Chain A
Amino acid sequence: MPIHVSLIHFLFISAILFSFGVYAVVTRRNAIMVLMGIELILNSANINFIAFGRYGAMNLDGQMASVFVIILAACEAAVALAIVLNIYQQFNTVNVDEVDSMRE
């Protein structure tokens, strides 16, 4: 029987993407991989915004928010990469497991 695509399907997608992103952040050893995970999370949030823009009450505000998120994601990615560069210069590795000098 035909399933109409509604809000809930987009929310599911974004939820799944979000959890993939969280999984990537929490589990990956490479710092770049962690950043990718963060991008995934951001993008899932974007999907959420768009979905609410199309099906919810937000209308064009959803898309507007999404543009903001993309911009901020870009800036944050730039900063994050700069940090990763600094970490590499300090620790000589991009393996986050080895950046544990705050460990007891």
Chain B
Amino acid sequence: MTQELLLQLSLAVLLLPLLSFLLLIFFGKKLPRQGDIVATSILGLALLTSFVILFAKLILFHDELLNFTFTWVDFKMVAGIGHLTLDLGIMIDNITAIMLVVVTLISFLVHVFSTAYMSGDIRYSRYFAYLGFFSFSMLGIVITNNFFMMYVFWELVGISSYLLIGHWYEKKSASDASMKAFIVNRIGDVGMFIGINILWANFHTLTFEGIFSAISGGHIPFDSNPWLTAAGILIFCGAIGKSAQFPLHVWLPDAMEGPTPVSALIHAATMVAAGVYLIARAFPMMTADALVFIAYIGAITAFIAATIAIAQNDIKKVLAYSTVSQLGYMVMGLGVGAYTAGFFHLVTHAAFKAGLFLASGSVIHAMHNALHHQHDHQTDPQDIRNMGGLKRKMPITFWAFVVYTLAISGVPLTSGFLSKDEILAGTLAFGNITGHMLIPIIGFLVAGLTAFYMFRVVILTFLGEHRDSARFEHLHESPKPMTIPLIVLACLSFFAFYSFNPIGASSGWFFHAVERPVSVVPNAVAAASAQMFEEAVHDVHYTAMYLSLSVAGLGILLAFATYYWKKISAEAFAMALSPVHSFLMNKWYFDELYQATAVSGTLGLSRLLAWFDSKVIDGTVNGVATVTRQMSFASGKFDSVVVDGLVNLVAYLTGLFGLVLRKIQTGRVQTYIAFVLVGVMVFFFIYRAV
């Protein structure tokens, strides 16, 4: 097991899903069962290979960075710069190895789940093909060692998301949502692109290694620290788009139009985590100002999304806003300097959020079947107000869902508790060091809100009594391909995988494997050093833990009091605070705001330009044509009157002359003789003196 072999294996992991995509897109209809077994097995193989890589990396090469770089474009000698090349390549460090497993595992489980969930679908093989394409693109992001390839795969992931959200594109809302996702993503990508260009213009290399060594060597973009901050913030803009941070979070809830397994894979566990991964990769070049900005954006996002989630009734929308909120947590964690904690939360969240989405898919699947039996096409199978009491009919789904909810609420003995606790400790330490106490306040508040709205969903969906007892009879547990992934993910939501200490993860393998990278930014603009941060975290660790346990407990208590024991009336509360309630239910009116400003502005501009094009430009073209026609008419008239007239005149004159001159030719020799004589006499008289 050498380093080269590990790099080659990682390349295999990258390319296997691409193979799945190509097989299914070209031969999908002809494969047995439309290719789902083929796709799932290929992903399974990729998963096994990722495990091999992870174990080999952590056991054999724990502290090393495996790197392979090659020159893609050689610009030879460029004036003013020297020998300019564009280098690309792949690398494996510990977070790459972990992400390989996360992506392939969630993808594999989603493949398995989809064989049951999507059976009978109108475009079954194409769905699996796109899943493979997405997996390929996401793996490309985590494996690359330079910004160029990352940007390419970033866009590929965006395309995959577009294709998968719009899977049922006959539905207008789905095709609208897929376009919204792509466009909003692109807005963030513009910022990222500008940031990459700043780096290229100054450092003439896009590899992480090259950029970081250039900065640590004292070379700052345009020799000004504000530009370094700007570059960091612009790169972060890509994460704002991709990870649905405020203000570009509006696409994620609409993306729920896609199939639920897609939501689990892309919009919970992996693609949206790509933004967090990007920040983690670019961490060494972030200045303190950039990091504070990142932390605040994360905190604001977490807060906004959590408040919206408590007023939503569609189970997938609640989970979508929960995802936005938790992504805000991860971003906040990275921003305050709790690097390992933020990344840890990414991994644990991938497991329990994917589980939550798959479990909700199981519920929706059961509700859909029951409604179908009753020939009811009006009731919404995703509305939690139509559910209740599902615990008795779907025990596996119920218990898995409970585990995930405990994890996301930060209840001890779960993985979520460990990661959330570390982040909150980090925010408190950050508040102590820098004085920005608003961030930990928001962090703890959101933790309480999270516990509240998640347990609200659990209670309304699984506990109590079902609305319609006739429908209730038709509900039953989902088939094995759907329940087994739920069980797997539930196991992964326990603490034991990451640390043997249920209340602290710092002694576990994860925290040893993922260490905060050294910042290469000049000291004047650097954030608190890792050491100082560690000490501050250590000081507040127990305080943070007690606080987080209390807010979580309060949230859970409040949820039960309102929805289970019915001691507090949710309806009365909502009515009393109805402006607040409608504000939250309407998602803080972000979509309306964007529609009124950006969308209307763009459409207005395009209408203006269209008017300009049809009136001014086309008018000019038509005007030129008209002028040409007029000129040609005049020219024609000139030609027929003047030119032809001249020609005719010449002919007439010639005729006239001819008429006259013709008389000379009498045909009579005597006339000619007379002329000769006259001529002789003339000559005689002219030359007589000579």
Q: Give a binary string over A1-21; 1 marks a CB under 8 Å from any B CB, 0 the rest.
A: 000000000000000000000
Determine whether the beta carbon of A25 is less than 8 Å from that of B673: yes
| B674 interfacial contact with A, CB 8 Å | yes
* Per-residue interface assignment for chain B, residues 667 to 681, with 1 indicating a CB less than 8 Å from any chain A CB and 0 otherwise: 111100110010000
List 13 interface pairs A-B (beta carbons < 8 Å), by A numbering: A26-B670, A26-B673, A26-B674, A28-B670, A34-B670, A96-B669, A96-B670, A97-B668, A100-B666, A100-B668, A102-B667, A103-B665, A104-B665
Instruction: Please report the C-alpha to C-alpha distance between residue A90 and residue B666 in the assembled complex, in whole angstroms.
Output: 19
Q: Does B662 count as interface, using CB distance less than 8 angstroms?
A: yes
Given A22-B677, A26-B677, CB of A103 within 8 Å of CB of B670? no
Cα A24 to Cα B646 with chains together (Å): 48
Contact B677–A101 (Cβ < 8 Å)? no
B668, B673, B674, B677: the one contacting A103 at CB < 8 Å is: B668
Number of residues from B at the complex interface, CB < 8 A: 10
**What residue in chain A is nearest B669 (Cβ atoms)?**
A96
Q: Smallest distance from the beta carbon of B44 to chain A beta carbons, Å? A: 111
CB distance from A100 to the nearest CB of B (A): 3
Chain A residues in 8 Å Cβ range of B669: 96
A26: chain B residues within 8 A (beta carbon)? 670, 673-674, 677
A26 to B662, CA, bound (A): 20
- Contact: A104 with B662, CB < 8 Å? yes
User: For window 76-104 of chain A, which residues contact chain B by CB distance below 8 Å?
Assistant: 96-97, 99-104
User: Is A27 interfacial (CB-CB < 8 Å)?
Assistant: yes
- Mostly helix, strand, loop or mixed at chain B's interface? helix
CA distance A101 to B669 in the complex (A): 11
A27 to B668, CA, bound (A): 11
Give 1 or 0 for each of A21-48: 1 = CB within 8 Å of chain B CB: 0100111100000100000000000000
In the complex, the answer to whether A102 meets B670 with C-beta atoms within 8 Å is no
Tell me, in angstroms, the Cα distance from A96 to B673 when the chains sit together.
13
- The answer to whether B665 and A99 touch across the interface, beta carbons within 8 angstroms, is no
In B624-679, which residues have CB < 8 Å from any A CB? 662, 665-670, 673-674, 677
Residues on B with C-beta less than 8 A from A25 are: 670, 673
Say whether B677 contacts A99, CB under 8 Å: no
Residues of A within 8 A of B666 (CB): 100, 103
Question: By CB atoms of chain B within 10 A, which of A25, A99, A104 has the most?
Answer: A104
Please count how many residues in chain A sit with their CB below 8 Å of the partner chain's CB atoms.
Answer: 14
A99 touches B668 (CB 8 A): yes
Q: Are A96 and B668 in contact (CB under 8 A)?
A: yes
Chain A contacts for B662, CB-based, 8 A: 104
Q: How far is the CA of A32 from the CA of B303 in the complex (A)?
A: 139
The 5 closest A-B pairs by CB, nearest first: A103-B667, A100-B667, A104-B662, A102-B667, A104-B665
Q: Roughly how many angstroms separate A99 CA and B674 CA in the complex, as a whole number?
A: 17
Q: Is the CB of B665 within 8 A of A102?
A: yes
CB neighbours of B674 from chain A (8 A): 26
New A-B contacts (17) at CB < 8 Å, excluding given A22-B673, A96-B668: A22-B677, A26-B674, A26-B677, A27-B670, A28-B670, A96-B670, A99-B668, A100-B667, A100-B668, A101-B667, A102-B665, A102-B667, A103-B666, A103-B667, A103-B668, A104-B662, A104-B667
Report chain A residues within 8 Å CB of B665: 102-104
Residues from chain B with a CB closer than 8 A to the CB of A100 are: 666-668
- The chain B residue with its CB closest to the CB of A24 is B670
C-alpha spacing A104/B516, complex, angstroms: 117
Q: A34 to chain B: closest CB distance in Å?
A: 7
Shortest Cβ distance from residue A26 to the other chain B in the assembled complex, whole angstroms = 5
| A26, A27, A100 — most chain B CB neighbours (10 Å) | A26
- In the complex, which residues of chain A have a beta carbon less than 8 angstroms from the beta carbon of B670? 25-28, 34, 96
Nearest CB on B from A16, distance (A): 15
Task: Report the bound CA distance from A34 to B669 in whole Å.
Answer: 10
Contacts of B667 in A (CB 8 A): 99-104
CA distance A28 to B670 in the complex (A): 9
Cα A97 to Cα B670 in complex, Å, equals 9
Residues of B within 8 A of A27 (CB): 670
Within 8 Å CB of A99, what residues of B?
667-668
Report the Cα distance A22→B674, complex, angstroms: 8
How far is it, in angstroms, between the C-alpha of A104 and the C-alpha of B673 when the chains are bound?
Answer: 18
B residues less than 8 Å from A28 (CB atoms): 670
Closest chain A residue to B670, Cβ basis: A26
A25 to chain B: closest residue by CB: B673
**Which of B662, B666, B670, B674: most chain A Cβ within 10 A?**
B670
Assembled-state Cα–Cα distance A40/B662 (Å): 32
> How many angstroms between the C-alpha atoms of A25 and B667 in the bound complex?
15
